[in-house]
Amino acid sequence: MEFVSIDVTDGVATVRLDRPKMNAISAQVQVDLREAAQEVTERDDVRSVVLWGGDRVFAAGNDVKEMADLSYAQMVELSYSVSSATTAIARIPKPVVAAVNGYALGGGCELTLAADLRFAAQDAVFGQPEVLLGIIPGAGGTQRLARLVGPSRAKDMILTGRFVKAEEALSIGLVDKVLPPEEVYDAAVAWARQFTGAAPLALRAAKECIDRGVEVDLDTGLEIERQQFAAIFATEDRALGMSSFVEHGPGKATFVGR
């Protein structure tokens, strides 16, 4: 990977965007993100993920210079790459938290939406300013943002292209925690580290139930949950967790990931 790195410590993988100066999301970054998502999904030593752009900027959007001269026919072919990179992050079957310092705009904002939680610095700025370029969000912004903050607030952000500072982002549910800039990454790692000894198959099932459930009607969502709930009884971790609870009380089980 050229512009994305992975560092694993104590079960927590930091997926770091590193494309100076502003972490613009180019076609190569999209390739790197898909590869990173696959790697952290497959690695047994990774139990959770922190998505980070560094201590100055998360990502200031897709690479406009790279797209400026593309024709409709070219974008029809390339639009899959734009959306699939973000979707790959969203489909990581492990807890994912975005640690956001500085700007998270356009494709950068869409990338944060693919995480399960978002921790933001006090000086972080979010936005979907694509309409100001005569286009629309193309990596999930119109869909994930509306599901997260509601259609009206999503329309306000997307139709105006305005920027949203951290405190407003917290008030509308776009972010989950606002912290001093120097504390954001460490707080995200601390949140992610609590899953190091958790039952990974249970976490995977729970995340899939929630993600798939919000896409369908309630009855279908409940059926997804019912099937996953029954399926988890086939795991060794379920037996270990329940026997440990009966013998020693809650929170003392040692899981094996099977």
Query: For the segment 99-154, what is each residue's pLDDT rounded down to a tens digit?
Result: 999 999 999 999 999 999 999 999 999 999 999 999 999 999 999 999 999 999 99
CATH number of 4-193: 3.90.226.10
For residue 98, give the nearest of 110, 81, 106 by alpha carbon. 110
CA gyration radius for the chain?
19
- Predicted pLDDT of residue 80: 84
Position with higher pLDDT, 75 vs 42: 42
Q: What is the pLDDT of residues 179-211, one digit of tens each?
A: 999 999 999 999 999 999 999 999 999 999 999
162 sits in which H/E element:
none
State the pLDDT confidence band at 252, using cuts at 50, 70 and 90. Answer: confident
> Mean pLDDT over all residues of the chain?
95
**Which pLDDT does position 79 carry in this prediction?**
83
Calculate the alpha carbon distances from 111 to 24, 44, 173, 196, 233 in Å: 12, 24, 16, 24, 34
Give the pLDDT of residue 28.
94
Residues 6+ away with beta carbon under 8 Å from 218: none
Cβ-based neighbours of 150, under 8 Å, separated by 6 or more: none
61 has a pLDDT exceeding 90: no
Tell me: the pLDDT tens digits for 241-250?
A: 999 999 998 8
Beta bridge partner(s), residue 170: none
Dist. CA 18–CA 58, nearest whole Å? 9
Per-residue pLDDT reduced to its tens digit, 10-39: 999 999 999 999 999 999 999 999 999 999
**Does the pLDDT at position 62 exceed 90?**
no
Across 33-37, 80-84, 207-211, 229-233, least confident range: 80-84
pLDDT at 93: 97
Where along the chain do its domains lie? 4-193, 200-248
CATH of domain 200-248: 1.10.12.10
DSSP for 27-66 reads HHHHHHHHHHHHHHHH-TT--EEEEE--SS-SB--B-HHH
With H, G, I as helix, E, B as strand and everything else as coil, classify residue 177. strand
Judging by beta carbons within 10 Å of its beta carbon (0-12, 13-18, 19+), is residue 72 exposed, middle or buried?
A: exposed
Quote the pLDDT of residue 23: 95
